[in-house]
Structure 1
Amino acid sequence: MTTNAVLEVAAATSADAFQRFASSLQYETDCWDVHEAFTLGDPGFVLFDVRNQDEFQGGHIGGAIHMMRGKMIASKLAVYPANTLFVVYCAGPHCNGATKAAMVLAKLGRPVKVMLGGITGWLDQGYPLTKSVDPSIIR
């Protein structure tokens, strides 16, 4: 029988696979879902762009707030109710900044999800970026 890397390890049972994939949605979302939420009006979450300020000013997702992970401290987040869901994104799949920011928010006891794909994924979907910079969205 011919084997390869895909077949070397048996697939999980359907029940285990369902549980694993369903649980991943507690930790992550994607560009499509974020775009759709903003299209519908109040998305019900706060979107943080965790890239550096130059990258943010060069183009970001409309509605995003610039918040680098080093500035994520309890006193800055106190303006948001304790149950506020934060969605974080960075440059793209080659960047782990969103994951690191999600860890900071989780350590602060805040609900958080990572937007998979980051700016790269957003652009791949054909969604626009905005370059307008309202000083109140840079933190």
Structure 2
Amino acid sequence: MSKVLAVPPAPPEHAVAHFAAQLGYQTDASDVHADLVAGVSGLVLVDSRGPAAWQQGRLPQAVHLPTAQIADRAATVVAADSVVVTYCWGPGCNGATRAALEFARLGYRVKEMLGGYEYWVREGFPVLTDTGPRRLPIDQLTAPAGAGCAC
């Protein structure tokens, strides 16, 4: 008996709705990086981690707004017509999901960046630290050396 087919796949029209909905809620490090490099306007990248994490390293152009402060401070930090992209530590953390929920409750259009800070760094994208910018080598388990995943 097939483990994959033990539950039959959804009809294609259901799969289209499901996957399109996922992309409406989520983005990834590669796409965020591409938009930052292209200078896409209207995106606000929000780091929802605490102060120690922010000091250790953050994505260029990110705004620091820990999840617990979003309800009180979002309106003074993020323009209401912005598209917010939240990130936290990585795939083992749901902090970006909680932050995205807070922004959505406030009426913002929002997406969660899958992989968080961890995958941004592992894909070799630059980060800012309190001592200046840095970039680690690409982890070949996340992207080909010298190039993005091209997906």
TM-score category, normalised to shorter length: 0.7 to 0.9
Q: Which residue of 2 aligns with 1:15?
A: 13
Quick one: distance in 2 between partners of 1:21 and 1:73?
29
Aligned-residue offset at 1:75: 5.1
Q: Which residue of 2 aligns with 1:33?
A: 31
Quick one: distance in 1 between partners of 2:128 and 2:78?
24
RMSD: 1.6
Aligned-residue offset at 1:123: 1.6
Contact 1:74 1:108 in 2 (8 A): no
Quick one: distance in 1 between partners of 2:77 and 2:126?
28
Question: Pairwise mapping of residues 1-139 of structure 1 onto structure 2 (< 5 A)?
Answer: 3-73=1-71, 76-78=74-76, 80-132=78-130
- For 2:24, what is the secondary structure of its paired residue? coil
Deviations 1:112-134 (A, max 9, x none): 1100000111122111211148x
Deviations 1:16-75 (A, max 9, x none): 111111111111111011000110124421000011111111111111111001111255
Quick one: distance in 1 between partners of 2:91 and 2:78?
28
In the superposition, relative to structure 1, how do residues 55 and 74 fare at CA in structure 2: closer, same or farther (>3 Å)?
Answer: closer
Quick one: distance in 2 between partners of 1:121 and 1:75?
27
Q: TM-score, normalised by structure 2?
A: 0.80
Structure 1 segments unaligned to the other structure (5+ residues): 134-139
Q: TM-score, normalised by structure 1?
A: 0.86
Deviates more, 1:118-127 or 1:58-67: 118-127
Aligned-residue offset at 1:90: 0.4
Contact 2:56 2:130 in 1 (8 A): no
Contact 1:45 1:84 in 2 (8 A): yes
